[in-house]
Amino acid sequence: MSLYCRTFFRRKSFGCYRLLSTYVTKARYLFELKEDEEACRKAQQTGVFYLFHDLDPLLQASGHRYLVPRLSRAELEGLLGKFGQDSQRIEDSVLVGCSEQQEAWFALDLGLESVSASRASLPKSEMEAELGGSFIKLRQALFQLNSVDSSLLFTAQALLRWHDGHQFCSKSGQPTQKNMAGSKRVCPSSKIIYYPQMAPVVITLVSDGARCLLARQSSFPKGLYSALAGFCDIGESVEEAVHREVAEEVGLEVENLQYSASQHWPFPNSSLMIACHATVKPGHTEIQVNLKELEAAAWFSLDEVTTALRRKGSLALQPSEASSLLLPPKLAIAHHLIKKWVETLSCSSLAA
C-alpha cells in the first residue's frame, strides 16, 4: 500500500479529517504525476479523457443542459484507430485533475495541429458523428454547464491553448517538448523551461459608502455594467494596480483596499482575477471617464443594484426592461463582488 493510500485510510477513520486527507492525497498524487514521467504515462492507461477540437470541448446536449462526456483509454484508442492514428497521439494529452480514487483526468485536442510532431487535425464532423456529441465554443455553452464542469473545461482549454502557442522556444527558435503531464515545456537546445502562464488582473468594486461605481465597455451587451478591471503592469503590486486602474479609467483615488476573492478567467486568454473592494475619499466622487477604455461609468444606489441582482436570466431581458441595469452572470467574480457589497451594506443599514 502506498504512502498516499495509508494516509487516506488512517485519516478517514476520524470523520472530521476526511475532507482534508482526501484533498491532501489528491494534491500529492497530482504533484507526483507532474514530476514523474513514468507515473503519468501509467496514469494515462487507467485515466479518462476529455476531448477538444480546436479548443472547443466535446459536449452532449441533454434537455437544456450540456453534459461533458469522458472517454476511457480503450474508447480513445478505438476512436483514434478509426481515424488512422496510433495511441502515440494520447501523449499529447494534458493532466487536468483526478478523482478521489486517483483516476487521472486528461484533456486532448484532436483538432489542433502539432507542428513539431507533424500531427494532423482530425475531421470535426466525422468525429462528432462517431462520438454522438458536438464540439461547441465554451463561451456559447457556458450557461448550460454546471459550475464543476465549466471550471474543469476552463482549465483544460487554458492549458491546451498555452501548449498550442508555445511549440517553439522564443530564444533558440527550436521546437519545445511537453512533459507527460503538460505542466511545462522544455527546449532541448537552450534548456529553457516554459511554464503555463496566467496574466494577473485586478477587479475592483469602488464604493462611496452608499453607492457603488460600475462601468461598461462598448463591447458589453446593452445595459451591462461591471466592476473596474485591468491587467497588472509588470513590477506592480496588486495594491498599486488597483490604484492605477481606478485612476486611469474613472479619474478617482481609492483607499481602504480589501481583498475579497480570486478566480481563473479564460477569456480572452488565461487571467488570474484578483477581486477587491475599495472606497473613495469622502467628497471625492466626481467621475472622469477615460473614453479610450470605457464607454460609460456611473454611481449606482443600493436599491438599483439590489433590483438588478434579483432579476432572473439577467442577460435576456423583456422589451419592457430594455433600459434596465444588467449585472455580470453568477460565474463571473464581478457578480460576487457586487453581491458581497449589497449584503454588507444591507446588513449595516439593518443594524443601524
Ligand X SMILES: NC(=O)C1=CN([C@@H]2O[C@H](COP(=O)(O)OP(=O)(O)OC[C@H]3O[C@@H](n4cnc5c(N)ncnc54)[C@H](OP(=O)(O)O)[C@@H]3O)[C@@H](O)[C@H]2O)C=CC1
List residues binding ligand X (CB under 6 A): 199, 201, 203, 226, 229-231, 263, 265, 267-268, 271, 273, 293, 328, 332-334
Closer by beta carbon to ligand X, 57 or else 328? 328
Identify what 273 binds: Mg ion, ligand X, none; CB under 5 to 8 Å per kind. ligand X
CA gap 160, 5 in Å, rounded: 31
Min CB(340)–ligand X separation in Å: 13
Angle at 153 between CA 266 and CA 218, to 5 degrees: 30
> Smallest Cα–Cα separation from 108: which of 49, 63, 161, 151?
49
Min CB(294)–Mg ion separation in Å: 7
Backbone angles phi, psi at 56, to 5 degrees: -95, 125
CA 137 and chain centroid, separation: 14
Identify what 334 binds: ligand X, Mg ion, none; CB under 5 to 8 Å per kind. ligand X
CA gap 187, 193 in Å, rounded: 7
DSSP β-ladder status, 199-207 and 193-194: unpaired
Q: What is the DSSP string of 35-65?
A: H-HHHHHHHHHH-EEEEEETTEEEEEEETTE
Closer by beta carbon to Mg ion, 59 or else 332? 332
- For 248, the 3-state DSSP assignment is helix
Identify what 271 binds: ligand X, Mg ion, none; CB under 5 to 8 Å per kind. ligand X
Closer by beta carbon to ligand X, 269 or else 307? 269
Min CB(329)–ligand X separation in Å: 9
Closer by beta carbon to ligand X, 121 or else 197? 197
Q: Check whether the bond before 268 is cis (ω within 30° of 0).
A: yes
Closer by beta carbon to ligand X, 31 or else 231? 231
Min CB(328)–ligand X separation in Å: 5
Min CB(276)–ligand X separation in Å: 12
Here the cell at position 177 is 517538448
The answer to whether the CB of 258 falls within 8 A of the CB of 278 is yes
Backbone angles phi, psi at 60, to 5 degrees: -125, 125
Min CB(264)–ligand X separation in Å: 9
CA gap 87, 227 in Å, rounded: 47
Identify what 294 binds: ligand X, Mg ion, none; CB under 5 to 8 Å per kind. none
- For 167, the 3-state DSSP assignment is coil
> Smallest Cα–Cα separation from 328: which of 187, 209, 228?
228
Identify what 199 binds: ligand X, Mg ion, none; CB under 5 to 8 Å per kind. ligand X
Closer by beta carbon to ligand X, 44 or else 155? 155
Identify what 160 binds: Mg ion, ligand X, none; CB under 5 to 8 Å per kind. none
> Smallest Cα–Cα separation from 92: which of 78, 80, 75?
80
Closer by beta carbon to ligand X, 235 or else 282? 235
- For 153, the 3-state DSSP assignment is helix
Identify what 23 binds: ligand X, Mg ion, none; CB under 5 to 8 Å per kind. none
**Binding flag, residue 230, Mg ion (CB under 5 A):** yes
Closer by beta carbon to ligand X, 14 or else 267? 267
Stretch in the footprint of Mg ion (CB under 5 A) among 24-32, 62-70, 225-233, 329-337: 225-233
Identify what 313 binds: ligand X, Mg ion, none; CB under 5 to 8 Å per kind. none
Q: Point out which residues bind Mg ion (CB under 5 A).
A: 229-230
